[in-house]
Amino acid sequence: MPTASDPPTEFLTRDDVARLLKISRPTVYRLVESRRLPFYKIGSSLRFDKRDVLAFLRQHRVEALGTHTYGSQKD
């Protein structure tokens, strides 16, 4: 349940999510169908909480291996 201290929810459309994540609309549909991306169904429309989309993005971050950077010189 939202409290007074919660920031207001910013809802995104399917197209907004596709633009934000730089993915295709069919990929957004696949994420919805597989229930990997939380959504709200309002009538026949899908809406996404921007915080959920950003959390999804953070959860799928892959850390780099090692401490070397590309192009660094060997000592």
Can you give the residue range of the structural domain that contains 22?
A: 11-59
Full-model pTM: 0.74
Please state, in angstroms and rounded to a whole number, the distance separating the CA atoms of residues 46 and 12.
9
Asked if the structure places residue 20 within a domain, the reply is: yes
Structural domain count, the chain: 1
Asked if the structure places residue 4 within a domain, the reply is: no
At 68 the pLDDT is 65
Q: What is the mean pLDDT of each run of 10 residues along the chain (75 residues)?
A: 70 98 98 97 96 96 79 60
